[in-house]
Amino acid sequence: MRFLVAFLTGILFGLGLIIAGMANPTKVQAFLDLAGVWDPSLMLVMGGAIPVASIGYFLAKRRGKSILGDVLSIPAARHVDRGLLLGSLLFGTGWGLTGICPGPALLLPAFHLSQGLSFLLAMLAGMAIFELFSRFVLHKPTDQH
């Protein structure tokens, strides 16, 4: 059942990304291009997603456990560290350069096979490099949202 929920919510999430225009990197870059001809659509994507996710969060928190009986895996509040700031700045740089973030990266090969795979494989390589970096340089276990 948990696997089915994960699969179906993955599909729903993906459909949301496609309908929202997030599977079009050029549109995402048009949102990030404040000095050009600006496309504000992405503000509405967040404006739609955040309130609904917020309701979900408060409902889940009030229940205390998930409907299928799992403990809620919500990241515990942690201090802001250099990794949070530097990592987010690096991510934003890559996002601006391409107009692609991790969710749409998984859909893009269905739209543009070779370009989509180039980005996706590079992104997975970047994640793998981080694993090596955190294990051998930072000596820190990795954990995230």
Partner 1 sequence: MQIDGLHFSPLASLFGGLLIGLAATLLLLFNGRIAGISGILGNLLKPSTTGRAWLLCFVLGLIVSPLVYRLFHALPASSVLVSDKALIIGGLLVGFGTRLGYGCTSGHGVCGIARFSGRSILATLCFMLAGFVTVFVVRHILGGV
Exposed/middle/buried for 116, CB within 10 Å: 0-12, 13-18, 19+?
buried
Q: Report which of 61, 60, 81 is spatially closest to residue 142, judged by C-alpha positions.
A: 81
C-beta of 61: minimal distance to partner 1 in Å? 8
Number of residues that bind partner 1 (CB under 8 A): 122
Q: Applying CB under 8 A, does 137 fall inside the site for partner 1?
A: no
Window 8 to 37, contacts with partner 1 (CB under 8 A): 8-27, 29-30, 32-37
How far apart CA 36 and CA 16 sit, in angstroms, is: 26
Q: Applying CB under 8 A, does 113 fall inside the site for partner 1?
A: no
How far apart CA 12 and CA 76 sit, in angstroms, is: 26
Q: Applying CB under 8 A, does 126 fall inside the site for partner 1?
A: yes
Q: Applying CB under 8 A, does 96 fall inside the site for partner 1?
A: yes
C-beta of 136: minimal distance to partner 1 in Å? 14
- Contacts for 138-145: CB closer than 8 Å, 24+ residues apart: 143/75, 144/75, 145/75
Window 36 to 75, contacts with partner 1 (CB under 8 A): 36-42, 44-57, 59-60, 63, 65-68, 70-75
